[in-house]
Amino acid sequence: MMRTRRFCLLLLVAGLAIAQEGHPLTGTWHGSWLSNPTAPAATQHTDITLVITWDGKNINGIVNPGFDGAKLQNATLDPKGWMVHLEADAKGGKIVADGKIENVTNARRSISGTWTQGGRRGDFKVVRDN
């Protein structure tokens, strides 16, 4: 009987650990931004990859990991409206992104809003990978 209780407790704890996703911004996000929303030609889309972590106090991460990667310098989240602000210095100019997390309880949640980089401005949307 005691073994059965321990086993059930272990299964419960394991299930809760798997269900925890951490901070709403933590994860890898993929999407694109459109530098001229009034002329949506395929050449106007720029791919985006965000890798974001939360250390318990701060939001950290990188925009487009790799040779052209840019470290997040200023990232904030207002949980009241799930509004996100991201900044990074990239080769193509300073990035400033302001958006809103949509479907925050969904594992494949998204962020959409305004992306500004190097004097160009447009709409963006990224979706979190599982």
Spatial distance between the Cα atoms of 25 and 22, rounded to a whole number of angstroms: 8
In a domain, residue 102? The reply is yes
Q: What is the pLDDT of residue 119?
A: 85
In a domain, residue 68? The reply is yes
Structural domain count, the chain: 1
Check residue 73 and give left, alpha or beta (phi > 0: left; psi -120 to 50: alpha): alpha
In a domain, residue 17? The reply is no
**DSSP structure string for 90-126:** ETTEEEEEEEEEESTTSTT-EEEEEEEETTEEEEEEE
Closest Cα to residue 126, out of 21, 45, 72, 58?
45
Q: What is the pLDDT of residue 120?
A: 87
In a domain, residue 11? The reply is no
Q: What is the pLDDT of residue 57?
A: 87
CATH number of the domain encompassing residue 51: 2.40.128
Q: What is the pLDDT of residue 37?
A: 60
Q: What is the pLDDT of residue 77?
A: 94
**pTM of structure:** 0.78
In a domain, residue 9? The reply is no
Q: What is the pLDDT along the chain (130 residues), one digit of tens a residue?
A: 555 554 333 333 333 333 345 688 999 999 999 887 665 555 578 899 999 998 888 999 999 998 889 999 999 999 999 999 999 999 889 999 999 999 999 999 999 999 999 888 999 999 999 7
Nearby residues of 65 by Cβ (< 8 Å), 6 or more positions away: 49, 51
Q: Range of 29's domain?
A: 23-128
Q: What is the pLDDT of residue 12?
A: 37
Q: What is the pLDDT of residue 59?
A: 94
In a domain, residue 121? The reply is yes
In a domain, residue 120? The reply is yes
Half-sphere exposure (Cβ direction) of 21: Cα atoms closer than 13 Å:
15
Check residue 8 and give left, alpha or beta (phi > 0: left; psi -120 to 50: alpha): alpha
In a domain, residue 105? The reply is yes
